Structure 1
């Protein structure tokens, strides 16, 4: 409990450097922050220690209300990256909207162009431990991403996504009000 008081105090001290920092929110000790003037944090956002968050160029990060970001999470943006309200992101997760090009043979990756694709985490999503949400991923409302999944693509509301590469394994059926497995086609 005492650490949360320090995290709240840290949030107050850091708040003027962010584009927006809604209260009451708290911030555990980060590892690295860059370009946080382009980071907009809603109300009741809880960020645990060891966050790495960076924006490049004119990139933005929007973290909506009532989001929990666990320890050792890395967020990086050179475009628009949004985390929807009520979402929970477990530890060791990576979320980006940046891809590095690799097509020029003999040119180091870091000297090649980057490509930016909007990335969105929908409302009430759950991102499991160690997942990687790659550039261009759009998650609908209340999606569940399994631990260690590598996610790229557009996914509808109310689905469970697992694997590397990730695929949908369950959908919520509003008629039966049950999460139903997706049958595999051979």
Structure 2
């Protein structure tokens, strides 16, 4: 049964591919909840996306999911600028990634009527994002970062670090000289 679903999802991705900026094969995509402006989505080879994705491009934003990325169920991504998910990254289920904040300073206007604010967000190569994590606008992850489950992440994080908590903070770093993960 599992192989049948993956085969169906691969055929589905092939049929949908003309509606995307790029959707390279072999990749597969389970049924999505919402694809807003898929012409602005660029999906590489060997990308696996489980069901329930909600992907939105606002004001011409572009989403780049590079080669060999695995994305769990119920993934939510929104972009107003160029948002990249690096090659070899694994994103667990129920994760949200955005480069958009809502303005809220004018207390006499509803937040939904105020401007969007763009803050660059990127996920480096070979990262792992744990179940339920939230990567907020203004987050950049270096290569090989590990994000713990349910972390709420904002800020710039260097290569090869472990990030946990709400708000997220670095708890380990990889020492290239000793080749050991060290507590911070």
Fold match by TM threshold 0.5: yes
In 2: Cα distance, 1:174 partner to 1:99 partner: 35
Other-structure match for 2:149: 147
Match of 2:70 in 1: 68
Shift of 1:80: 1.2
Q: Are 2:143 and 1:121 equivalent residues in the alignment?
A: no
**Residue 109 in 1 paired to residue 111 in 2?**
yes
Shift of 1:47: 0.5
Q: For 1:76, what is the secondary structure of its paired residue?
A: strand
* TM-score normalised by the chain length of structure 2: 0.98
Which stretches in structure 1 are left out of the alignment for 5+ residues? none
Aligned match of 2:18 in 16, 19, 30? 16
* Regions of 4+ moved over 3 Å: none
* Aligned equivalents of 1:158, 1:166: Cα separation in 2: 15
Counterpart selection for 1:174 from 156, 173, 176: 176
Residues 35-114 of structure 1: pairs in structure 2 closer than 5 A: 35-114=37-116
> What residue ranges of structure 2 are gaps of 5+ in the alignment?
none
How far did residue 102 of structure 1 move? 0.7
C-alpha separation between the residues in 2 aligned to 1:57 and 1:37?
13
| C-alpha displacement of 1:117 | 1.1
Q: 1: distance between equivalents of 2:22 and 2:96?
A: 22
Superposed CA RMSD in Å reads 0.5
Question: 1:130 offset after TM fit, Å?
Answer: 0.3
| 1:32 CA drift (Å) | 0.7
TM-score w.r.t. structure 1 length?
Answer: 0.97
What SS is found at the alignment partner of 2:60? Answer: coil
**Count of aligned positions:** 182
Separation (CA, whole Å) in 2 of partners of 1:64 and 1:111:
34
After superposition, where does 1:152-171 map in structure 2 within 5 Å?
A: 152-171=154-173
Q: In 2, Cα distance between the equivalents of 1:68 and 1:118?
A: 22
